[in-house]
Amino acid sequence: MSLIQLVVVLVVLGVLLWAINAYIPMDATIKKIVNVVIILVAVLYILSAFGILGSMSGLRVG
């Protein structure tokens, strides 16, 4: 993965987070949970991209 792809993904996640916070009306508690989940996904993605976390292709949910 190139650095440009990583930056593009982070910009898209940032715009998505901003759009959710600015335009979607919801309770403050739910908004905080959504923010934490998106930030957690971004951190895991960055760690995986730099090879610190390892490959996330083996992860299985459910």
- Per-residue HEC secondary structure of the chain comes to CCHHHHHHHHHHHHHHHHHHHHHCCCCHHHHHHHHHHHHHHHHHHHHHHCCCCCCCCCCCCC
pLDDT of 19 higher than 90: yes
What whole-number distance in Å separates Cα of residue 28 and Cα of residue 17? 14
pLDDT digits (tens, 9 = 90+) for 31-62: 999 999 999 989 988 888 888 877 666 667 66
pLDDT at 44: 86
pLDDT grade, residue 18 (50/70/90)? very high
Whether pTM > 0.85 for this model: the answer is no
Mean pLDDT value across residues 20-40: 92
- Residues with Cβ < 8 Å from 20, sequence gap 6 or more? 31, 34, 35, 38
